[in-house]
A and B are shown apart, each in its own frame.
Chain A
Amino acid sequence: MVHVTLKLFATLSRFTPDSGDRYPIAPGTTVKHLLEKLGVPEDDVRLIFINGIKGHLASTLTDGDRLGIFPPVGGG
């Protein structure tokens, strides 16, 4: 197993697992796989960041990665 840090923003925060700051995943897990496992609806995923740089659903996660996910946000 490898571990990633997860931060789900705004409406997605309710999908954050208890161990979000050190979440175990199998090597080779993609963002898409992880979000499916957490039950995050793909339509609500707008911005994916891995270690502060824009990523994609198909991006593969590696040990120590920081993953951040934003839903669409438009208020003011």
Chain B
Amino acid sequence: MRTQIIEKLKAISRPKKYPDDTDYTSISLENIPSLATSFKVDSRKIEIIALEEGMVPERYARNMKTFSPEDQASLLKSQVSIVGLGGLGGTVSEILARTGIGTLNLIDGDRFEASNLNRQFLSTYETMGQYKTEAAVKRIKEINASITVRRYDEYLDDKNSDALIRRSDVVVDCLDNITTRFILENASKKAGSPLVSAAVAGLSGHITTIFPEDQGLKLIYGRPDDLKSKGAEASLGCLPSAVSVLAAFETAEVVKIILGRGPLLRNKLLIIDLLDNITEVLDLL
């Protein structure tokens, strides 16, 4: 069937030029679902085959050059779990969907309330009271129907964490409290998955990447037993600018992990302070 799909893709493809005037072979947005229907396969499968044959689904055209078609196919074959769908998670899910990560697992038991509106992009008048996962699934499907989205309307805790955090290529910590971050780190380590973890208070925050063999969160927070669940954000809140910057850094880290390219923030902490225009990468070891 792959041969027939390739033939059909070649037949419907058309030559286009990137803004720098170089040539590529484009597959239009409308052609993907119709091909998927006629071959009775996922539209993601059609996109992956196109990319493996050097053809570019138009929706990924502006990812190209930074990503090769093979890179884009790898992203479509990968699976990322996003834990927490508030300020960080809403933005992370949007960016990863547009980047073309093939499977997104969304984990959060919370529903939207009015105090989320300052920073959580999925919160609107319409989504008040809805599960955050529900709004996220709808948004992702509106952006990219090729993505498989799995929704878990549960708060992560030490009873469900092993079942919820199955092996993913990357797990993204978008939680809003320190206690659960340690539960997530533990579950990610057990699952053998790298974890990208960001946290915000006011206009400040930080992000790090933790592989299963790394020391991880204790380098940042000390021993979990010594900590209150909420940090400085309890008095400073979380500002949308800082949340969005850190969410963007998280997604860049996810892509670097999947493609195996670029320096990672393992045993390092990237800190930001948007009041004093600070970004700096610090050594945790």
Contacts and interface: CB of A to CB of B under 8 A. Distances in A.
Nearest to B273: A9
B200 interface: yes
Contacts of A75: 87, 176, 199-201, 205, 230-233, 236-238
Given A74-B231, A76-B199, A76-B243, A10 B236 contact: yes
Contacts of B280: 52, 68
A72 B204 contact: no
Nearest to B219: A54
A74 B228 CA distance: 10
Kindly state the interface size class of chain B when it binds its partner. 35 or more
Interface in A1-41: 7, 9-13
Interface string B212-230: 0000000111100001111
Contacts, number: 97
Interface in B253-285: 269, 271, 273, 275-276, 278, 280-285
Contact of B276 (A7, A12, A54): A7
Contacts of A52: 280-283
Nearest to B227: A72
Interface string B60-96: 0000000000000000000000001011110000000
A68 B271 contact: yes
B89 A72 contact: no
B282 A74 contact: no
B5 interface: no
A74 B283 contact: no
Contacts of A9: 204, 271, 273
Which label, helix, strand, loop or mixed, suits the secondary structure of the B interface?
Answer: mixed
A13 B271 CA distance: 15
Contacts of A49: 282
B48 interface: no
Nearest to A44: B232
A53 interface: yes
B111 to A, nearest CB: 16
Given A10-B204, A46-B221, A74-B199, 4 more contacts: A54-B284, A74-B230, A75-B233, A76-B174
25 contacts: A9-B273, A10-B201, A11-B201, A11-B235, A11-B236, A47-B220, A52-B280, A52-B281, A54-B282, A70-B271, A71-B231, A72-B178, A72-B221, A73-B204, A73-B231, A74-B175, A74-B181, A74-B230, A74-B231, A75-B199, A75-B205, A75-B230, A75-B232, A75-B233, A76-B243
